């Protein structure tokens, strides 16, 4: 698969690309059947110009998030959140409400009032000098894993733990992590201003390392573009 994806990006000619892969249940052999076992599975992959979950101007000034108050994250015994999927009914409903209220995006809680994730991104908070991210109810994203690795290199305490909504409103810093845009600071949550409405020092330090890592030869996969 890796070789095919390298060829895909090389063929596209995109110097800054977002590559997506989907394994689909497919189309039923017998039209109209409700038996998913009769579907022929398909694998799709495509490359498009780099995608930002948040517009660059929003990322620069800091994202304004709401904590969803009507919609909750679907329980894991219904849809496993650790498997990347297109079940976004809960996140889309919460996002509609956040946008209608003037926020950039939203964060969903589970039924125990614990922070989970947002539409397309993981959440990190700085609490008492530690970087903390939810330990359940969310996709264990590759960018989330990268934050752990960066923190280890920088010797910054980082852990996955439960974050209750009440504690979340009193954290020092908040940032999001996603492949589509990297690490983005959050400067307001439910109208509450964090860190004088500017990017926090811990967020800035980790974010700077994140983009520096993109230039490291040991971490970069070279694309053999055809220059002819």
Give the separation between CA 3 and CA 207, rounded to whole angstroms: 29
Q: Report the DSSP pairing between strands 182-189 and 63-72.
A: parallel
What integer pLDDT is reported at residue 27 of this predicted model?
A: 87
Read off the DSSP letter of residue 114.
Answer: B
* Per-chain mean pLDDT for the chain: 94
Using 50, 70 and 90 to split pLDDT, how confident is the model at 1? confident
Mind listing the pLDDT tens digit for each residue in 124-151? 999 999 999 999 999 999 999 999 999 9
Mean pLDDT of 199-226: 93
Mind listing the pLDDT tens digit for each residue in 57-73? 999 999 999 999 899 99
What integer pLDDT is reported at residue 228 of this predicted model?
A: 54
Q: How far is CA 124 from the centre of its chain?
A: 10
Q: Is 14 left (phi over 0), alpha (psi -120 to 50) or beta?
A: beta
Percent of the chain whose predicted confidence (pLDDT) is above 70: 99
Mind listing the pLDDT tens digit for each residue in 154-184? 999 999 999 999 999 999 999 999 999 999 9
Mean pLDDT of 79-83: 93
Percent of the chain whose predicted confidence (pLDDT) is above 90: 82
Mean pLDDT of 98-116: 97
Give the separation between CA 109 and CA 172, rounded to whole angstroms: 19
70's CB contacts (< 8 A; 6+ apart) are: 93, 94, 97
């Amino acid at each position: 698969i890796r070789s095919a994806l390298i060829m895909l990006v090389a063929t596209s000619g995109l110097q800054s690309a977002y590559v997506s892969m989907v394994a689909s249940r497919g189309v039923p052999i017998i039209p109209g059947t409700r038996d998913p076992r009769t579907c022929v599975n398909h694998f799709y992959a495509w490359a498009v110009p780099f995608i930002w979950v948040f517009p660059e101007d929003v990322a620069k000034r800091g994202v304004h998030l709401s904590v969803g108050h009507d919609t909750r994250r679907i329980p894991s015994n219904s849809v496993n959140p650790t498997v990347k999927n297109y079940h976004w009914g809960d996140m889309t409903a919460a996002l509609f409400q956040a946008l209608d209220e003037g926020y950039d995006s939203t964060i969903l809680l589970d039924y125990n009032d614990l922070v989970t994730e947002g539409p397309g991104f993981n959440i990190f908070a700085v609490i008492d000098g530690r970087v903390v991210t939810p330990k359940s109810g969310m996709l264990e994203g590759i960018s989330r894993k990268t934050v752990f690795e960066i923190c280890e290199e920088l010797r910054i305490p980082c852990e996955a733990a439960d974050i209750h909504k009440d504690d979340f409103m009193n954290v020092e810093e908040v940032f999001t992590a996603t492949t589509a845009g990297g690490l983005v600071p959050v400067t307001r949550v439910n109208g509450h201003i964090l860190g004088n409405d500017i990017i926090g020092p811990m967020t800035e330090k980790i974010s700077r390392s994140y983009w520096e890592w993109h230039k490291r030869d040991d971490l970069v996969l070279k694309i053999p573009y055809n220059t002819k």
